[in-house]
Structure 1
Amino acid sequence: MGIVVGYVANPEGRAALERAGEAALRYAVPLVVVHSRRPGREVDAADAEQLAGVHASVQEKLVAAGLAHEMRDVPDSEDPADDLITAAEETSASLIVIGLRRRTPVGKLILGASAQRILLDAPCPVLAVKPED
């Protein structure tokens, strides 16, 4: 058992990683960090270098926190929701953590398609977090 977190290098991803790390430490379980990238997006040398830097930074933080973890990079993701659900099923995860964007009053009526799918299809509880202001 462990905790699966969807990570993207943005405020929502950082908030999700922080909360997932806190939960993993609290419950003494490993963390699986899933980073999905859309297919068809060309990754040039600068993008690859930036991505490697982001992964190294995340690894460094997790090691410094003393967290057992696994990094999963999904370079040609058809659906980030599938990637998280699959990781949760494969690891018998006890929790999935995702980040949500702040939305306008009208936008609050609509939840992102990936977030909605994860909430509905996940094999375990889902914690949805927003970044602090």
Structure 2
Amino acid sequence: MTILVAYVARPEGQAALDKAIEIATRRNERLVVVNAGPGGRGEDPSIVNGYEVERVEERLAKLPIEAEFKQFVRGKSAIDEIDEMVAQLQVSVLVIGLRKRSPVGKLLMGSMAQEILLTVDCPVLAVKAT
């Protein structure tokens, strides 16, 4: 089985990664950290840079379990990429990070967490940043 974590370089992404590492280590399950976005002309704040990728990969290399980082920037939404990974891997749980947003922010930007919950076919653990 695999623990899948949706990672972004923000406090909620770090909280999700920390919790996923804890669960995967305790259960002795494989851990896959995924960072994804459509890419394109504009700057995508959800895509982590090279330094951050190295930092996460170094942390994963020190774990006593199988762990890997995957990054996808190929025109699909992060939700589509995550949904495909859930379908391909035997995912026991998907871990996502949450942040507090105002009602207007939710209306204008939508809720990626809500869309993930409605899309994927596996249990989802939502973690708040401290």
**TM-score interval w.r.t. the shorter chain?**
0.7 to 0.9
- Counterpart of 2:21 in structure 1 is 21
1:68 to 66, 69, 80: 66
**CA distance change for structure 1 residues 112 and 74 in 2, over 3 Å: closer, same or farther?**
same
Does the 8 Å contact 1:81/1:115 carry over to 2?
Answer: no
Q: TM-score, normalised by structure 1?
A: 0.82
CA distance in 2, matches of 1:81, 1:15: 19
Q: TM-score, normalised on structure 2?
A: 0.84
Distance in structure 2 (CA, Å) of the matches to 1:17 and 1:123: 20
| Partner residue, 1:6 | 6
Structure 2 counterpart of 1:117: 115
Q: 1:27 to 1:108 in 2, by over 3 A?
A: farther
Report the counterpart of residue 30 of structure 1 in structure 2: 30
C-alpha distance in structure 1 between counterparts of 2:33 and 2:64, whole Å = 15
For the residue of structure 2 that corresponds to 1:61, the secondary structure is helix
CA distance change for structure 1 residues 42 and 103 in 2, over 3 Å: closer, same or farther?
A: closer
Residue identity opposite 1:125 in structure 2: P
1:100 and 2:128 are equivalent in the alignment: no
Gaps of 5+ in 1: 44-49
Q: Which runs of 5+ in 2 are unaligned?
A: none
- Tell me if structure 1 keeps the 8 A contact 2:31–2:67: yes
| Number of equivalenced pairs | 126
**Superposition deviation, residue 93 in structure 1:** 0.4
